[in-house]
């Protein structure tokens, strides 16, 4: 199944719909979807190294746009959808302490957590819940998400052939590591709150 998904993403990279699919995943991940856009960005970039910077731009802008939806969920819908999402991830009791940390460390929270495997949707929803300044939220999200995806794009541009060879030979191991990193992100979020 993982091999078929990987091959589908590689084939998708050659289609005109590729940027839309990547953008949709990046958008959704920043507001409600549990899978990071890296799982699409990496295979697409190694398949089409000539488009790596374009893909990083799409991922960054879509992630920030999705972050605005996450912010709106936190600001406008926390009592219904926000509570449900935090409950889904087992974080209801931590939301208040995370909101309080925004008073002192808001800029650093967004910058640092946007670079880590901590799910960005948790940062975006909580930013809205904490009524963090929207201008600073968007600016810091652009900086941190851009840094993450453009750094990844640079690595893929430079080492893409080697990365593709590893993916082709050891896809299941890479997939397991990716799942472990996502789970670690949730655990770190809970611990660091």
Residue 168 lies in a domain: yes
Residue 70 lies in a domain: yes
Residue 179 lies in a domain: yes
Tens digits of per-residue pLDDT, 137-163? Answer: 999 999 999 999 999 899 889 887 787
Helical (H) or strand (E) element with 182: helix 134-192
Residue 14 lies in a domain: no
pTM: 0.78
Residue 19 lies in a domain: no
Residue 13 lies in a domain: no
> Domain residues for 132?
2-8+36-192
Total of domains in the chain? 1
Q: Which conformational region is residue 90 in: left (phi greater than 0), alpha (psi within -120 to 50 degrees), or beta?
A: left
Tens digits of per-residue pLDDT, 98-120? Answer: 667 776 788 888 888 887 767 88
Tens digits of per-residue pLDDT, 21-80? Answer: 999 989 998 988 877 888 889 888 888 889 999 999 999 999 999 999 999 998 988 777
In terms of Cβ atoms closer than 10 Å to its own Cβ (0-12, 13-18, 19+), residue 186 is: middle
CA atoms within 13 A on the CB side of 92: 10
């Amino acid at each position: 199944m993982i091999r078929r998904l990987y091959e589908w993403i590689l084939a998708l990279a050659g289609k005109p719909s590729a940027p839309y699919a990547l953008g949709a995943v990046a958008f959704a991940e920043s507001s409600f979807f549990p899978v990071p856009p890296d799982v699409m960005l990496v295979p697409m970039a190694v398949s089409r190294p000539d488009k790596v910077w374009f893909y990083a731009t799409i991922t960054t802008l879509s992630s920030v746009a999705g972050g605005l939806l996450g912010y709106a969920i936190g600001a406008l819908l926390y009592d219904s959808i926000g509570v449900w999402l935090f409950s889904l991830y087992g974080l209801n009791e931590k939301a208040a302490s995370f909101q309080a940390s925004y008073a002192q460390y808001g800029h650093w929270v967004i910058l640092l957590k946007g670079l880590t495997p901590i799910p960005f949707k948790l940062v975006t929803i909580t930013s809205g819940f904490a009524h963090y300044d929207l201008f600073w939220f968007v600016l810091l999200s652009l900086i941190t998400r851009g840094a993450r995806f453009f750094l990844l794009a640079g690595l893929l541009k430079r080492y893409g052939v080697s990365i593709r060879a590893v993916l082709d030979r050891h896809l299941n191991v890479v997939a397991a590591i990716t799942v472990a990193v996502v789970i670690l992100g949730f655990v770190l979020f809970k611990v660091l709150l």
